[in-house]
């Protein structure tokens, strides 16, 4: 239980800012996908709010599972 809580805290603390940075870096990709998908993915100030939240959540989940695996294999 202790390792899971530690992995969760690390995932949230590291995943949210890292996810925001990744979302901002992907803005040109979102601009190119807009005409294909017919959905507004990014405006002039960056990605849409919903897209930023999704990327932050996915990043935090990936970090959680990677960190949890590293902690469980350690002992």
Per residue in 15-24, pLDDT (tens digit) is 999 999 999 9
Q: Give the chain's domain count.
A: 1
* pLDDT (tens digit per residue) in 22-58: 999 999 999 999 999 998 888 888 888 999 999 999 9
User: Which residue carries 């807009």 as its tokens?
Assistant: 34
Q: What is the pTM assigned to this prediction? A: 0.82
pLDDT-derived band of residue 6, with 50, 70 and 90 as boundaries? confident
> Which sign, positive or negative, has the C-alpha torsion 29, 39, 19, 55?
negative
What local confidence, expressed as pLDDT, does residue 75 receive? 58
pLDDT of the residue at 4: 83
Host domain of residue 11 = 2-74
């Amino acid at each position: 239980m202790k390792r899971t809580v530690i992995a969760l805290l690390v995932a949230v603390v590291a995943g949210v800012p890292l996810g925001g940075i990744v979302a901002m870096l992907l803005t040109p990709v979102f601009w190119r996908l807009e005409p294909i998908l017919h959905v507004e993915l990014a405006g002039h100030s960056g990605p849409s709010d919903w897209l930023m939240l999704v990327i932050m959540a996915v990043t935090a989940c990936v970090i959680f599972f990677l960190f949890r695996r590293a902690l469980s294999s350690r002992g």
